Amino acid sequence: ITLLGIESSCDDTAAAIVRANGSRGEILSNVVSGQTDLHAAFGGVVPEIAARAHAEKIDLMVEAALAEAGVSLGDLDGIAVTAGPGLIGGVLSGVMCAKGLAMGSGLPLIGVNHLAGHALTPRLTDGLAFPYLMLLVSGGHCQFLVVESADRFHRLGSTIDDAPGEAFDKTAKLLALPQPGGPNVEREAESGNPKAFALPRPLLDRPGCDMSFSGLKTALLRARDGLIERDGGLRRGDRADLCASFQAAVADVLTAKGRRAIAAYLEREPAEPVLAVAGGVAANATIRHQLQTLCAETGLRFTAPPLALCTDNAAMIAWAGIEIARLGHVDGMDLAARPRWPLDTRQTGILGSGK
Ligand code: ATP
Ligand code: FE
């Protein structure tokens, strides 16, 4: 079975062709058109600009994905598309494009939850067996999930405010570092002292796996302004120390909550316990290293898909579509675009309900 996948829920317009190959997927093509330049001047993604850009680019991306894979619509078994959650204008562009193609070709249409796409990526790349523990940590999300099947996700905890990627981006802004904040803060942190500033580790005193990152940003702002007041500006090394201290705080929160998530996951007695990470923040070496150490301590295997498949892409949507189709589910022309779509509900039962 071979599927076209379409993704347009945030600021990447993407299309991919994926073929099922036993328990994993073979990526025949995977093309992305980013919008970073369009939004750069605004310091964040502007929904209206994103929606227009998706509408302009989406057909081109689909054509490119087909051409690169050397297939035509007639060679496909279906069309998978992100139906949410995300910026509604972008999601609509993708869903309308997919419906048009499905109607014209007679191919089945499969609506995919964007987060399910991220969460199922370790199966696309490594054929990971259920149930595995997933930490999805990106610019818009932060959650621990037990992935039980392709349409069943048990959420152990999530951020109650900002996502870590967002916190990295805001930190970069506060310290006049370029966007995207994550890689730049990480680079700056290399020469800094992670113990220089005692930033908070929010919610660690509370049970459960929920996390919070917005207080961290406020504490960082206060530390920065304290330095500016004392010294008349940031001195050499201050910025690196602030970045290192911030990064250490994020890593500590993820590790501490990860330890609890692992305990909850192990209660399910998985045959081969695995922690998989996905999302842009999973690229951070300090965070990765701490999670790897935690896994070694608790007897889990640690795995992370290659970065291009960790960030937004359409191969993960095509693959999730394959998994959903294997469960015998397809959608109709009433497939709805949903701005919000939590993952801790059964996925296929509610798809296509239009509500
Ligand atoms: P979502 O997938 O939740 O809709 P998104 O598309 O913004 O959100 P991704 O593309 O997965 O998220 O990741 C982008 C985020 O990852 C940005 O916030 C970026 O700063 C962060 N990031 C990238 N590299 C690093 C790094 N090395 N360290 C920390 N954060 C990073
Ligand atoms: Fe994403």
Ligand 1 and 317: CB distance under 6 A: no
Give the torsion through C-alpha atoms of 314, 116, 280, 96, to 10 deg.
Answer: 40
Ligand 1 and 34: CB distance under 6 A: no
Q: Are strands 12-21 and 78-84 parallel, antiparallel or unpaired?
A: unpaired
> According to the model, what pLDDT value does residue 103 have?
97
Residues of the chain with pLDDT under 70: 43, 344-355
> According to the model, what pLDDT value does residue 49 have?
80
Beta-carbon-side half-sphere exposure of residue 299 (alpha carbons within 13 Å): 8
Ligand 1 and 280: CB distance under 6 A: yes
Residue nearest to atom 25 of ligand 1 (CA): 182
Instruction: List CB contacts of 58: < 8 A, sequence separation 6 or more.
Output: 6, 8, 13, 15, 93, 94, 97
> According to the model, what pLDDT value does residue 38 have?
78
Residues flagged as binding site for substrate: 136-140, 169, 182, 186, 284
The ligand 1 atom nearest the CA atom of 11: 6
The 10s digit of each residue's pLDDT in 20-41 is 999 999 999 999 988 777 777 7
The CA distance from 194 to 295, in Å, is: 22
**What ipTM was reported for this prediction?**
0.97
> According to the model, what pLDDT value does residue 47 have?
82
Ligand 1 pocket test target in 88, 311, 317 with most atoms within 8 Å of CB? 311
Ligand 1 and 182: CB distance under 6 A: yes
> According to the model, what pLDDT value does residue 343 have?
84
> According to the model, what pLDDT value does residue 354 have?
34
The ligand 1 atom nearest the CA atom of 86: 4
Q: What is the largest CA-CA distance in the chain?
A: 69
Q: Are 312 and 9 in contact (CB under 8 A)?
A: yes
Instruction: List CB contacts of 268: < 8 A, sequence separation 6 or more.
Output: 131, 146
The 10s digit of each residue's pLDDT in 295-316 is 999 999 999 999 889 889 999 9
Helix (H, G, I), strand (E, B) or coil at 148: strand
